Amino acid sequence: MDFTLTDDQVALQEGVRKLCEGRFPMERVRALADAGGVDRDLWRELADAGVFSLRLAEADGGAGLGTAEGALVFEELGRALVPGPLVWTHLAAGLVPGAAEGERVVGGLQRQEEPFLVEYPDAIDVLLAVDDDGVWEVDRSRLSARPVSWPLDPLTPAHVAGGLLRGERRGVPGDAARWRLEGAVLTGAYLLGMAAALTDMSVTYAKERQQFDKPIGSFQAIKHILADMFVRTEVARAAVYAAAVNLDEPALGPPGRAVAGAKLLAGEAATLNGKAATQVHGGMGFTWEVDVHLYLKRAWVLDTTFGTADDHADAVAGLLGS
Amino acid sequence: MDLLWTEDDERFRTELRAWIDQALPKLPPATKREDWDARRARDTTWQRMLYDAGYAGINWPADFGGRGAALSEQLVFYEEITKAGAPDVGVNFVGLLHAGPTIIAEATDEQRARHLPAILKGEEVWCQGFSEPSAGSDLASLRCRAVRDGDDYVISGQKIWTSFAQVSDYCELLVRTDPDAPKHKGITWLILPMDAPGVDVRPLRTVIGSSEFSELYLDDVRVPVANRVGAENDGWRVAMVTFSFERGTSLVSEMVEARRQLDELVKVAKVVTRGSATAWDDVGLRREIGHAAAELDALWNMVKRTVSEAARTGVPGVGASVVKLYYTELIQRIGDLALRVLDRASLSLDDVFEHSGHFVEERLRVLALTIAAGSSQIQRNIIGERILGLPR
């Protein structure tokens, strides 16, 4: 047992962080709102860096890495708030041609979601639906779709859609079951990165912002909010990393409980930290100009995907005492 | 990142489990909470059995008679001891987890030879004389005075929250030796024999109704200078060594027990009836229990992370304060859930049905955890200032 990152994992983490800092500074992320959330050139750069293919076998053009490495990569994408259907395209790599290479942008949804909110409708080439029977490529010509003029998260544009969600089969029931677990962990990792970024930006602000002739971070009322943000993030980190390792190592037993706990705690860390960050930033936290709202809104969006907090708490309860 | 136990860890687990299985029946049964002589006898007997089997001082270095186990083996040790329902450290808590490690780190060879083997064998029970009525979270403001007189210190003052004082042989005592120095610079760490003339132990009744803690009145008590650990006026630094131990390992067995208790609570919830349904059929209650279980799982993994970091770097990571803060608040929420599951059975500390009284007693006991060993508010200050670098 050694629950620390290996040197290779640290290098991967640093590499993706550098890529995000260079290619996805906040002004560029914000600008993507006008491009449907995805810029094709940047998307291909993510693909070249292995974001979508890293878990494919080397023979299939991947890096042969595990969910643990996937989680580290998605944590960094979340820290930088990189928009787009990253998790879906990553899951689709190997099943949908062009996904791994960044040639086709793949979006998706869970079949039980009604009404169907299709994310990134103008950016995606392929829409997948996952249900108990498998993974389906939706024939979008058979959907009725109405654009959302005012999305909650400006970086998650959406259509309200209706109609038939099945089309050509892309995966068997086993794929669907695996996708739900992997999608929950990778989304959890993305939320974890967001929670950490929210803590960092709030700590920085609390050291700079002066009131009553002192930095506000010197007041315990603020200091304790920040301490709780940090603690929540670290507890979520332990949960997300453990769930990822559990998916990679069958000898650790069924991963369901660890995965549910990870998505639950990471989602809470991001949403609670988003609200705390708004409070610490005071009036500025309520402005469009400060980035906090973009994180909070994305956290709320992601809390609805790959299982809600309530779904996952119920799932853990269902596995207790058994 | 690797969460599989090594073959060495698994072999250690198998041996330990086999030993516990044959050792535990030889131990006298648990005694009444307030029978302190019997509690001391049971806890020290178990300590002696651990010593004879080579398991005493699991976290102590081998050079000082401990097992010198790898950190992962320590986790296995606490898991197996707790799962088997074997005693935890009990009255040996201060000796094994506070005073002993401090003596290892800071004492003279003579002091080590005098006390360490005795602690490991269960021959010496220790208590802690740190807090005072007017020095709680602001511990460094302590006033208990020690004045040098020849080869002795003469000590007068009062201590409080001294656990197991009524059955202790020694006390790790913080005293003020220089009242004119800044508060952190005038403190000294002493070994106080509890049978010294002028030591008066007055048990303190807690909210549980029992007396784990005492007040300690010291009236012109003479302690040889040879009993000082570390330099005069350097006691604050010496004491900080103890704190890092306290926040580190002492919650581990508690956490293993909490996971067992939560499973127990689920069993109870499945049989307690509410009209035509059980407590477990209450979707809201069940969801909150699931949530708490996820948090406990995550904290246990956080312990593994902290332990792994310590094994790799040699220094405990930032985990200790985080785990302490989160766990103690979580276990109180779990206590609230237990009362909701028990409903009217929560009126009784006697068992209304199997183990129900224990859940009620636990709800009371864990009230202390967010206060003792650095309150939650102090932990948040530590995290804010030392980890996040916020100004004081």
Mean pLDDT, chain B, integer: 93
Does A135 lie at the interface with B, CB-CB under 8 angstroms?
A: no
Chain A residue with CA closest to B260: the answer is: A321
pLDDT of amino acid B366: 96
Q: Evaluate if residue B250 carries a pLDDT over 80.
A: no
pLDDT of amino acid B29: 86
Q: Which of B290, B383, B385 sits opposite A317 (nearest CB)?
A: B290
Q: Which of B298, B307, B322 sits opposite A261 (nearest CB)?
A: B298
Interface test with B, best of A213, A219, A225, A235 (most B CBs within 10 A): A235
Contact A85, A122 (CB under 8 A): no
Q: How confident is the model at residue B320 (pLDDT cuts 50, 70, 90)?
A: confident
Question: According to CATH, where is 1.20.140.10 located in chain B?
Answer: 242-387
pLDDT of amino acid B316: 63
Q: Which CATH architecture has domain B7-120?
A: Orthogonal Bundle (1.10)
Flag if B3 and A249 touch (Cβ within 8 Å). Answer: yes
| CATH number, span B242-387 | 1.20.140.10
Tokens (6 digits) for B304: 């593994």
ipTM of model: 0.96
Average pLDDT over residues B212-236: 97
Q: How far is CA A215 from the centre of its chain?
A: 33
Question: Which chain A residues have a beta carbon less than 8 Å from that of B72?
Answer: 1
Q: Evaluate if residue B248 carries a pLDDT over 60.
A: no
Q: Where are the alpha helices (DSSP H) in chain A?
A: 7-23, 26-31, 40-48, 67-79, 86-92, 173-208, 220-248, 256-280, 292-302, 309-319
Mean pLDDT, chain A, integer: 96
Q: How confident is the model at residue B244 (pLDDT cuts 50, 70, 90)?
A: low
Flag if A227 and B1 touch (Cβ within 8 Å). Answer: no
pLDDT of amino acid B247: 56
Question: According to CATH, where is 1.10.540.10 located in chain B?
Answer: 7-120
Question: pLDDT digit string (tens) for A181-240?
Answer: 999 999 999 999 999 999 999 999 999 999 999 999 999 999 999 999 999 999 999 999
Q: Evaluate if residue B314 carries a pLDDT over 80.
A: no
Question: According to CATH, where is 2.40.110.10 located in chain B?
Answer: 126-233
Q: Quick one: which H or E segment has residue B155?
A: strand B152-163
Flag if B298 and A239 touch (Cβ within 8 Å). Answer: yes
Q: Where are the alpha helices (DSSP H) in B176-277?
A: 235-248, 252-271
> What does the domain layout of chain A look like in residue ranges?
174-319
- Provide the β-strand partners of residue A168: A137
Question: pLDDT digit string (tens) for A37-57?
Answer: 999 999 999 999 999 999 999
Does B309 lie at the interface with A, CB-CB under 8 angstroms?
A: yes
How many angstroms separate the Cα of B234 from the Cα of each of A69, B222, B238?
Answer: 47, 20, 7
Widest CA span of chain A, in angstroms? 65
Q: Say which range, A107-121, B54-68, B309-323, B369-383, has the weakest mean pLDDT.
A: B309-323
Question: Which chain B residues have a beta carbon less than 8 Å from that of A258?
Answer: 297
Interface of A with B in 71-130 (CB under 8 A): none
Does B1 lie at the interface with A, CB-CB under 8 angstroms?
A: yes
Q: Quick one: which H or E segment has residue B220?
A: strand B213-224
pLDDT of amino acid A43: 98
Phi, psi dihedral angles at B159 (to 5 degrees): -120, 160
Of B61 and A11, the one with more pLDDT: A11
Tokens (6 digits) for A23: 């290619």
Give the Cβ contact number of residue A26 at 10 Å: 11
Contacts of A238 (CB under 8 A, 6+ apart): B298, B299, B301, B302, B304, B305
Single pTM value for the model: 0.95
Interface test with A, best of B1, B8, B270 (most A CBs within 10 A): B1
**Which one-letter DSSP state was computed for residue B387?**
I
Does A203 lie at the interface with B, CB-CB under 8 angstroms?
A: yes
Among 2.40.110.10, 1.10.3720.10, 3.40.50.1110, 3.40.50.920, what is the CATH number of B126-233? 2.40.110.10
Cis-peptide into A97, omega within 30 deg? no
Contact A179, A135 (CB under 8 A): yes
Average pLDDT over residues B271-286: 93
| CATH number, span A174-319 | 1.20.140.10
Tens place of pLDDT per residue across chain A (322 aa): 899 999 999 999 999 999 999 999 999 999 999 999 999 999 999 999 999 999 999 999 999 999 999 999 999 999 999 999 999 999 999 999 999 999 999 999 998 767 899 999 999 999 999 999 999 999 998 899 999 999 999 999 999 998 877 889 999 999 999 999 999 999 999 999 999 999 999 999 999 999 999 999 999 999 999 999 999 999 999 999 999 999 999 999 999 999 999 999 999 999 999 999 999 999 999 999 999 999 999 999 999 999 999 999 999 999 997 6
Interface test with B, best of A273, A316, A322 (most B CBs within 10 A): A316
